[in-house]
């Protein structure tokens, strides 16, 4: 799809372009890119139905804000009447009886959904290798992972099948695959976007995010789905700032902090150099860029791997082979539950449930879970203190570019550490975006992360747009 969001909108308005042809093109691209295994379920019939409704609205002189947006959706977000697998065998034939609030808002705003994308099972993973439906390949290099857990959405956008997709984050699952695939990925402030219809993993961390190759389209999608929802009482009543008008933004005087903890050992030199070069470009454009510190950064992954599994072990208790999912027979109810869970969940999901049950169990609760909650406060305080002096923080999104398929699958801990620069924002609740900023000598994309204060997604989008313009010139 070569037209930008605004060009496409203008073409639709003037009648030079029709919405059904956009669906045709996207579906043709899914066929051409089938080898990437980005999709779990394609829904062409429903897509044409939705497109028909948008076409009628256009004929009636109505121009819905997202008319012309063809969307892919991570398969842990519910859409009524469509299979919702979470890339798990335990939900293989589950048909969702309702639609997630965020997705419904996008459909109401004129977006058309063409399919559900692959992910690490229940969004637990950083490579999309932990899927019961096979691994997704990185379009930039077919031997590499697309990142995860929203790897299917990232690959679909990077391959040009769609311009935008929905992903979800618990600890970097939008930003890290966005970085690995060379696209944009926004993790909104916790409480900004409704979680109703997003399959629960770590409820104090989960957020739906947007992944895109077009910053304006991403901002419009975010704008349409953000805000209070009666079905999710953790959504914030804070008004959503206008993110749709991104032009006319000057970097002059913008205070940007480079947290020193994100530039230390273990970072691939090409990644560090690229971010430093970008910092120099920003300085020349009038931004005030200086080093700062988020002293508890190294504790983010250990804190995350207590809190997220603890919440997961509780959230995934609902998969019991009784109300939905395949049931494995047993002599009594207990046997059925055990057999269904043992056979229905994959290895990584079971590992996290076990970890969560361990840190919450009698005798360990204070030592692990409560301890992690205390450190979580320190991590949030790091950000509050940094934002007294800075408008934005700028870091690499991941320490390396995309790794090889199979490279980290044998070591859960090595896999967990690929989220070392992204997990903090989830623990602190602050919004963060990853944007493509260059590539290494193998041609693999490098992502840069911008982090803002609570509810300042508008600043993330405006700065991102400006940086993309500057870097491309």
Partner 1 sequence: MRGYKLKVTPDEVGHIADLARLCPSVDEKLRLAEQMSQIVEFVEQLNELDTSDVEPLHHVLDLHSVLREDEPQPSLPVDEALMNAPARKGDYFRVPRVIEKG
Q: Does residue 325 bind partner 1 (CB under 8 A)?
A: yes
Binding mask 274-303 for partner 1 (x = CB under 8 A): ----------------------x-xx--xx
Residue 74 contacts residue 27 (beta carbons within 8 Å): no
Strand boundaries in 272-324, DSSP class E: 288-292
Q: Does residue 375 bind partner 1 (CB under 8 A)?
A: yes
Helix boundaries (H) for 369-411: 371-389
Which of 45, 252, 265, 334 binds partner 1 (CB under 8 A)? It is 334
Which of 233, 248, 253, 472 binds partner 1 (CB under 8 A)? It is 233
Is beta strand 432-439 parallel, antiparallel or unpaired with respect to 445-451? antiparallel
Catalytic option among 126, 131, 150, 173: 173
The torsion angles phi and psi of 88, rounded to 5 degrees, stand at: -120, 150
Q: Does residue 378 bind partner 1 (CB under 8 A)?
A: yes
Distances (CA, A) of 296 to 247, 256, 366, 374: 36, 19, 20, 12
Distances (CA, A) of 404 to 63, 198, 241, 410, 439: 44, 29, 40, 12, 16
Stated as kind and residue range, the H or E segment containing 255 is strand 255-259
Residue 185 or 325: the one with the smaller Cβ distance to partner 1 is 325
Residue 167 contacts residue 74 (beta carbons within 8 Å): yes
Residue 321 or 436: the one with the smaller Cβ distance to partner 1 is 321
Residue 73 exposed, middle or buried by CB count within 10 Å (0-12, 13-18, 19+): buried
Which of 320, 382, 419, 458 binds partner 1 (CB under 8 A)? It is 320
Look up 149 and say whether it is catalytic: yes
Q: How far apart are CA 199 and CA 344, in angstroms?
A: 16
Q: Does residue 89 bind partner 1 (CB under 8 A)?
A: no
Q: Does residue 406 bind partner 1 (CB under 8 A)?
A: no
Q: Does residue 146 bind partner 1 (CB under 8 A)?
A: no
Which of 4, 285, 373, 400 binds partner 1 (CB under 8 A)? It is 373
User: Whose CA is closest to 87, among 449, 318, 345, 462?
Assistant: 345
Look up 411 and say whether it is catalytic: no
Look up 127 and say whether it is catalytic: no
Q: Does residue 371 bind partner 1 (CB under 8 A)?
A: yes
Q: Does residue 190 bind partner 1 (CB under 8 A)?
A: yes
Q: Give SS3 for 215.
A: helix
Least separation in angstroms between CB 438 and partner 1: 32
| Span from 101-109, 248-256, 269-277, 411-419 in contact with partner 1 (CB under 8 A) | 411-419
| Span from 61-69, 193-201, 313-321, 460-468 in contact with partner 1 (CB under 8 A) | 313-321
Residue 278 contacts residue 372 (beta carbons within 8 Å): no
Match 């034939």 to its residue by tokens: 93
Helix boundaries (H) for 345-444: 347-360, 371-389, 412-416, 423-428
**Catalytic site positions:** 74, 149, 173
Binding site for partner 1 (CB under 8 A): 93-95, 97-98, 190-191, 204, 230, 233-234, 236, 296, 298-299, 302-303, 305-306, 313, 317, 320-327, 330-334, 336-339, 341-342, 345, 350-351, 353-358, 361, 368, 370-378, 380, 412-413, 416, 428-429
């Amino acid at each position: 799809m070569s037209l930008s969001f605004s060009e496409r909108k203008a073409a639709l308005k003037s009648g030079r372009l029709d919405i059904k042809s956009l669906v045709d093109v996207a579906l043709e691209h899914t066929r051409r890119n089938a080898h990437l295994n980005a999709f779990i379920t394609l829904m062409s019939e429903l897509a044409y139905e939705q497109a028909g409704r948008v076409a009628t609205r256009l004929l009636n002189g109505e121009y819905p804000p997202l008319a012309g947006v063809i969307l892919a959706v991570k398969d842990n977000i519910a859409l009524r009447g469509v299979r919702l697998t979470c890339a798990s065998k335990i939900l293989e034939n589950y048909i969702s009886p309702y639609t997630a609030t965020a997705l419904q808002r996008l459909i109401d705003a004129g977006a058309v959904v063409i399919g559900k994308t692959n992910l690490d099972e229940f969004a637990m993973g950083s490579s999309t290798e932990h899927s019961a439906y096979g691994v997704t390949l990185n379009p930039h290099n077919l031997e590499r992972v697309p990142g995860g857990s929203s790897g299917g959405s990232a690959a679909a956008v990077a391959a040009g099948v769609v311009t935008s997709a929905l992903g979800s984050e618990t600890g970097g699952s939008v930003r890290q695959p966005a970085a690995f695939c060379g696209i944009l990925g926004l993790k909104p402030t916790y409480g900004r976007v409704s979680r109703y219809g997003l399959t629960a993993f770590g409820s104090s961390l989960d957020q739906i995010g947007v992944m895109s190759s077009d910053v304006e389209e991403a901002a419009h999608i975010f704008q349409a789905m953000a805000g209070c929802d009666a079905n999710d009482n953790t959504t914030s009543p804070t008004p959503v700032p206008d993110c749709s008008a991104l032009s006319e933004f000057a970097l002059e005087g913008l205070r940007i902090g480079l947290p020193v903890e994100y530039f230390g050992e273990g970072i691939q030199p090409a990644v560090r150099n690229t971010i430093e070069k970008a910092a120099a470009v920003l300085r020349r454009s009038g931004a005030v860029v200086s080093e700062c510190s988020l002293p508890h950064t190294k504790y983010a992954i250990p804190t995350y791997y207590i809190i997220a599994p603890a919440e997961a072990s509780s959230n995934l208790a609902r998969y019991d082979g009784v109300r939905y999912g395949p049931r494995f027979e047993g002599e009594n109810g207990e046997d059925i539950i055990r057999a269904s869970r043992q056979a229905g969940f994959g290895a990584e999901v079971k590992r996290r449930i076990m970890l969560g049950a361990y840190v919450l169990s009698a005798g360990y609760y204070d030592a692990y879970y409560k301890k992690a909650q205390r450190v979580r406060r320190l991590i949030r305080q790091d950000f509050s203190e940094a934002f007294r002096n800075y408008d934005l923080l700028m870091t690499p999104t991941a320490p390396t570019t995309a790794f090889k398929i199979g490279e980290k699958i044998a070591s859960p801990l090595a896999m967990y550490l690929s989220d070392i620069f992204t997990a903090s924002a989830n623990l602190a609740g602050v919004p963060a975006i990853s944007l493509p900023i260059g590539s290494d000598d193998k041609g693999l994309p490098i992502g840069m992360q911008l982090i803002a204060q609570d509810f300042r997604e508008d600043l993330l989008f405006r700065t991102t747009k400006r940086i993309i313009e500057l870097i491309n010139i």
